[in-house]
């Protein structure tokens, strides 16, 4: 089952959205506190279902990736770099499906 995983690392708290196979499909920025990370997760859950919130991009090396944005245009999650556009679109689909039913696991303790 898909899950959001909150972790504490250098500089603060981050979360990853993991697909059912435990592969990361979206990661967050770094938050200064756990409450911020939890608000970020809630924002991903709220905005992930709407395709207009996905900004498809291309990295300098040519690899496609996407950002998930909130209604205020702030980036709330970034994907991995993909091998091609089709793989990236599959990633968008995976986030849309996973975010709405994902549990939250706190590994920052």
CATH code of residue 77? 2.30.29.80
In whole angstroms, how far apart are CA 39 and each of 20, 21, 22, 109? 22, 25, 22, 18
pTM greater than the 0.85 cutoff: yes
pLDDT tens sequence across 73-82: 999 999 999 9
Q: In which domain, by residue range, is 87 found?
A: 3-106
Number of domains in the chain: 1
In whole angstroms, how far apart are CA 64 and each of 26, 37, 101? 14, 26, 26
pLDDT tens sequence across 19-44: 999 999 999 999 999 999 999 999 99
């Amino acid at each position: 089952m898909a899950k959001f995983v909150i972790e504490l690392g250098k500089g603060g708290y981050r979360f990853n959205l993991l697909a059912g196979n435990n592969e990361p499909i979206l990661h967050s920025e770094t938050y200064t506190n756990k409450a911020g990370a939890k608000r970020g997760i809630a924002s991903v859950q709220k905005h992930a279902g709407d395709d207009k919130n996905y900004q498809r991009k291309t990295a300098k090396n040519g690899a496609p990736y996407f950002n998930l944005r909130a209604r205020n245009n702030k980036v709330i999650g970034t994907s991995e770099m993909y091998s091609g556009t089709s793989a990236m679109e599959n990633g968008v689909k995976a986030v849309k499906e996973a975010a709405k039913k994902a549990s939250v696991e706190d590994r920052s303790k």
